Amino acid sequence: MRWIRGVMLFLAGTGFGIFATQPSASPQEKATGLRLNHFGIYAKDFDESLNFYTKTMGFHEAFSIKDKDGKPVITYLQISRETFLELAPATADRPAGLSHVGLWVDELNTEVALLRQRGVKVDDPRMGMTKAPLTNVFDPNGIRLEMLEYPPDALVRKAMESWK
């Protein structure tokens, strides 16, 4: 009789466990709104930093934009399907270190309107070098938050879609 009681408790516990964990096992819905997409770094030695992030860290070079002389303006390094590091050379106006945090938004104009309603100073959206509409917001610490929307022809969108 004791063993029947033990088996019943075991089965009840197993059934409860299956029932309680079922929602977390189901596929999650697509994230919407704001998502961390990239962070930007101004590199004191661009070539050394590029070598570090590609060869040492193993990040894949997704794409690079160069100036008329062939020097890199920005290079996007892909960490995962939707996460990048934006690397740019430091200059006198852009000291080495963190440049910004890139936030991917579903609808940039809607996000801008919402932030303005909340009293946040937000630049008007413009087209960026990566063919993505973007704007900037600064947090209370002075950190630039770059908000971007990725239409089909945006370079970042193309890199995400070709991720293997």
Residue ranges of alpha helices (H) inside 1-74 are: 2-25, 46-51
pLDDT at 33: 79
Task: Report pLDDT digits (tens) over 22-69.
Answer: 444 444 444 457 899 999 999 999 999 999 999 999 999 999 999 999
| pTM for this predicted structure | 0.77
Over residues 91-145, the pLDDT tens digits come to 999 999 999 999 999 999 999 999 999 999 999 999 999 999 999 999 999 999 9
What pLDDT does 104 receive?
Answer: 96
Dihedral sign (CA 152, 155, 159, 162):
positive
In the chain, domain spans: 34-161
Q: Which CATH class is domain 34-161?
A: alpha beta
Q: What is the pLDDT of residue 102?
A: 96
Residue 34: its pLDDT value, please? 87
Which pLDDT value is given to residue 32?
57
Q: Residue 83 has what pLDDT?
A: 96
CA proximity to 52, closest of 83, 77, 80, 82: 77
Identify the pLDDT of residue 164. Answer: 80
Phi/psi of residue 94, nearest 5 degrees: -130, 85
Q: Kindly report the length of the chain.
A: 164
